[in-house]
Structure 1
């Protein structure tokens, strides 16, 4: 078992919505023995790694896949029939799709357990010292604030309305949809700590797939929501891979693992192996093939 400890330092405000009320959106929080505490869920990071792992896989082969396989790669799939213990199919999926084996998921009639655990991201603060074992003189209360946004109804802007068909009639018929919304965020400079645990059952190629997904994520490092509004950017530090100001630094070991993973992907016969991710492992469903792949016209993912 291997633990990867990552410390994230926010270089922009970060929003991670846990609940909403009226026009307010509030940061996710959990109850602890030391009181309520804001957190970023480990599952959100797991989803990020799954997305970047899937993008890398499909970008390598330059293909698009059907909805069923797309869901397996990007969302963890689902169960669409009675489950069965298909040892041979599981063995082949783990062999040919390290990123799927690493993160697990539902493959139609089979549930595949993952080999990585993604822990919560706890803020480094006075209240979390018992959890993080990192001393701090800052309370999370001093790092939390709210910001308001206005959602404008641009069709009622006289400089823009000329670009909207029947703008005058629309303005007469409808009230303005302008709205004020409030979002709770944690401040730039807030630090979070997370442990990602690679289980002992994980193979070298699964560890390589993990680091490859992290490297792809760190190329545009964001957490939480509202990235289009400038939220969520961070620097990150860990023992073997870090990013500061957009510059990624990794150990020779991690670089070699990523190179091995890329070579592994290039050597695969994707048209054949992709059949393993269909509901019945490459057969037919309702008389129709479930494993068709098509060339992509543009960027995948």
Structure 2
């Protein structure tokens, strides 16, 4: 094993050799909650490179990663060995205990975000973490082939109809995020779905991470008929946070054209996955939504939640 170190701040001039998660970064946590933060970084002092990070929010002796966010947990460099991951975990446990932390709650990112999430899961169990929940996400791998080639035949027909109707996908400027947010919220509420955020929360999130929140739309002429907020959840993954379309356009399903635009954006930006999120309703998989995402080319990836008493 390399002679690695763990510190609460990366030493100056240390390069990052891993993909950082948006939801555990200090700026995100400032906008997400008012709780104290605790951060740990794994680094190689000889190569002067950062190899991992985990960020926590602290509340009454319990640390959360992440708190009021889809997921958090460890962000790790792809080349870390099992021994090095174990070292990082036990150093974090030791340092948390020194700070008086009594318990940990953690939800890992779906394993499309990191190459070694399954190895991390095994090491967390070895370190005494209890596996509490397993959730299914779907994500579209980004590659050189056209989006259409990964679609089910039904969705290909919908895509063609949208193209023939002259609908156009575009990325809007950052200051249009409020317009897209309002559109998505209104369309979801009309269909009886709850929306997990209010505009002040989204506005603050964009303020502290201005490059991470991107408004995308599909228009029929000048009219927005479908939209989503794309979130750069890491430098490898775009999260399709809140897709919605106008109910008048149900027969044409402009969300398919919207997803094609997101796929092409990911490919142009060199991203690895388009995260379509989960498909749960009242704790159970919504089979219709899951199937739609599958027809779009979505593959299943799992996220694991853990809990541990620090002793």
TM-score where L is the length of structure 2? 0.22
Structure with max Cα Rg: 1
